[in-house]
Amino acid sequence: MEMMWIAIAAGVIVLLGLGAWAYRKLSQGKSSGREDRYTPERILTIEQVHMLDYLQDTFPGQVVLPNVALKSMLSVRRAADRQRAMERLNNQKVDFVVCGEDGRPSFAFDIEQYHLSDAKAKTHQAKMKNRILKTAGVRFVFLKNGLHRMPSPADFREQLNLAALPKPKPKEDARESAMQQLESQFSEFDQQHSQTGFRDSEVMGLSRLMDLNGIGRRPAANSGHSGFGNSRFNGQSLDVRGG
C-alpha cells in the first residue's frame, strides 16, 4: 500500500512539472514584448563616419548614402543573359554612393583597403564593379583610408567634375538590332572617354583622379550656377553632376 502511494505521488509530481513547462511555453508564445530589451549595433565604422562627413562637404546639397548594394542602385538595361547580369548586381556593393537631384547615382566610392589574402580575386571583383557602374554612367573611385590623405573637399570636387560620366540615353531606337545598339553604345562611350587616359577595366584611384589635369583635361561643366542653394561652398566651383 505504501509503495502505491509513493508511485501516485511521483506521478502527480511529474504531471505538475509537465504542466508548468507547458505553461511557460504557452506564456512565451504570447509575450507582449514589454520586457524585451535591445542593443544598438554598429552600422558604420568610425572611419566610415568620418568619410561620410567629408563626402557630404564635397557634395553639399546632394544625398550621400553609405553601404549600398548595386542591386539597390542599378537595374539591368540590356544583357545577353539577364539572370546572370542580375546575379552580378547581387554580389556587389559600394561603401558610398552620391545621388543627383533626380535621385539617381552619379558617383560611387570604396575606401581603399590593403588585402593580405585573395588580392587577385578582390582586384578582379573591383574591376567588374567598375565596369558595371561605368555602363550606368556612375563614376567609381577609390578613396584613401584616412582623411589626412584626402585633398580638401573643394579640390576633390573640382577633379570629380572632370571625371563625371555621361548618363546612358533613357530610350534606345527600337529599330536597331541588339548588336547594333551594343556597338553604338560602346563607340559613344569610347569617344567620350578617350581623353581620360583610363581603360574601361581600370578602377580610378585618388592619385589618378587628381592627375586628370595632366591627362587631357575635359572641360568642366558650366559652374556659373551651382544649383545647390546656399552652402558653405558658395562662390566655389560645384557642379559634380548634381542634376
CA 46 to CA 48: how far, in whole Å? 5
**Domain presence at residue 193:** yes
**Domain presence at residue 73:** yes
What is the domain extent for residue 73? Answer: 46-215
Number of domains in the chain: 1
Q: What is the pLDDT of residues 155-179, one digit of tens each?
A: 999 999 888 888 887 655 444 455 5
**Domain presence at residue 115:** yes
**Domain presence at residue 221:** no
Q: What is the pLDDT of residues 176-210, one digit of tens each?
A: 455 555 555 544 544 444 444 444 456 777 777 77
**Domain presence at residue 34:** no
**Domain presence at residue 23:** no
**Domain presence at residue 224:** no
**Domain presence at residue 37:** no
